[in-house]
Amino acid sequence: MSHILLYIDPGSGSILYQLIIAGSIGAIVSFRNYFTGIKTWLGAKFSSKK
């Protein structure tokens, strides 16, 4: 599909900026997700031992 008409102007600034920060944001979110996963796992372990 070649439906590429952009009826809103995405603005080069917002597009290029996402490329610049996506790496750091990805790292932060991955770390958070990993940390939340560990917390959930520990929580489950802890509550099952009760």
Q: Which residues bind another protein (CB under 8 A)?
A: 1, 3-8, 10-22, 24-26, 28-30, 32-33
CB 43, min distance to another protein, A: 20
Min dist CB 34 to another protein, Å, is 12
Nearer to another protein, 5 or 47 (CB): 5
Judged by DSSP in three states, 14 sits in: helix
Shortest Å distance, C-beta 9 to another protein? 9
- DSSP E strand boundaries for the chain: none
> 20: how many CB neighbours lie within 10 A of its CB?
8
Nearest 10 degrees: Cα torsion 28, 33, 34, 37: 160
